[in-house]
Structure 1
Amino acid sequence: MVHIKICGMCSIQDIQCVNEVKVDYAGFVFASGKHQISINEAKNLIPHLNHSKSVGVFVNEQVDEIAHIANTIHLDVIQLHGEESQKDIQYLKENTPCEVWKAIRLHTLKDYQLFHELHPDCFLVDSFDRSSYGGTGKRIKKELLASLDLSDKILAGGINTQNVHEILSYHPYMIDVSSGVETNGSKDIQKIRKLISEVKK
């Protein structure tokens, strides 16, 4: 079955939702945005995860600070969502026990070249937005998705219960969902259950 990451954990209620359905990964956003949480908040939430591995999402943060946070709150995965380099990726691999994922915001096929320049543990393919590094709810153009081999990549960008069936037709290794399973800014257990049901089909 396709792996699932639910991102934007902000409360104990969100944690309870992912615990109930046993998703593979739960994301904690340390970058600016509506899902941003503090280190102390994450430190208090992560121990309540029963099944999911913890993913810390960072955008253009100093790598020594990322390593400090990851080691302090015992993250399982570091997700880099900015303009980070291979040197940054290597530093984090050497200074934390975490997997390192790198997001590529796909605007044109030329962006695909970045896949060959960087060597993280896994790539996350997200939609492109000039004003934001992620979490926009925008979909990636279908013609771009159709041209990529996503079998070993994480797919993000506007995924919800209504379009997940189509998203799965691109055969991603993992899907990353955030606002698509929310109601009024909080994770909605009914939407998460429906998403899981669609994936299991």
Structure 2
Amino acid sequence: MSKLANIKLKVCGLRDNITEVAALKPDFMGFICYDKSPRYIGKDFSNNLKNEAFKIGVFVNQPIDEVLDLAKKHRFDMVQLHGNENVDYCVELKAYDLKIIKVFAGNKLPAQHEIDAFLPFVDYFLFDTKLETYGGTGMTFDWNNLKTLTIKKPIFLSGGLSLENIASIEELNRLEIFAIDVNSKFEISPGRKDIEKLKSLKKMMTHEI
């Protein structure tokens, strides 16, 4: 069986055509709560979605009180920490019984001891590329590097995933990938997703071609 058939789908950076994306039934939907991102959801965002996807709020080095307030206000199922948040930050946030995705961004791998330090306090890891701006860089992550690490939490794989390169995930035999995270390569403009591309991706992942 193809590896893609067992991997879940997260569509991130949603803002302008959320309902259309929700109709495709991704497993996770990501909403960027960082006001310097071109995909920032804005202050008037309202989570009225009734679908079964997990809703994820994406934050970057924001005060814990702000993360908690927005997670409650928007009824997020989990939070994604996409900045330089340290272990102590995660410890404090985890005390509120939130599910946490901790992001490691950049093709320079974290050391094994860095990964291990976060293990008791996060639920997932996400690996992405890194630029001066946060979220949806479109640059391809060097996924093969991850095979040198022992990662005892489910992995979200991100970083320039596109219809053209997503099949290369099949080659990562030693890496157990829980979900893929797509963003900038599947949109018409920042925050507006390309529905036809997402439909093609769903077909690839479910072998409905």
Under TM normalisation by the shorter chain, which class is it? 0.7 to 0.9
Cα distance in structure 2, aligned partners of 1:135 and 1:181: 10
Higher helix proportion, which one?
A: 1
Share of identical aligned residues, percent? 28
AA at the equivalent of 2:104? I
Distance 1:133 1:117, change over 3 A: farther
> What TM-score results when the alignment is normalised by the length of structure 1?
0.87
Higher relative contact order, structure no. (Cα contacts within 8 Å, ≥ 6 residues apart): 2
After TM superposition, where is structure 1 displaced by more than 3 Å over at least 4 residues in a row?
109-113, 145-151
**Are 2:96 and 1:91 aligned?**
no
Deviates more, 1:68-77 or 1:167-176: 167-176
| C-alpha RMSD of the superposition | 2.0
1:112-140, CA deviations, whole angstroms, 9 ceiling, x for partnerless residues? 542112131111011133x1333211111
Match of 1:191 among 197, 200, 205: 197
Cα distance in structure 1, aligned partners of 2:12 and 2:38: 12
> What TM-score results when the alignment is normalised by the length of structure 2?
0.84
Distance 1:142 1:99, change over 3 A: closer
- Give the structure 2 partner of residue 54 of structure 1: 55
Deviation, 1:2, is 0.5
Gaps of 5+ in 2: 1-5
Correspondence list, 1:19-168, <5 A: 19-31=22-34, 32-41=36-45, 44=46, 46-95=47-96, 97-119=97-119, 120-129=122-131, 131-148=132-149, 152-168=154-170
Cα distance in structure 1, aligned partners of 2:118 and 2:20: 34
Deviation, 1:75, is 0.8
AA at the equivalent of 1:78? V
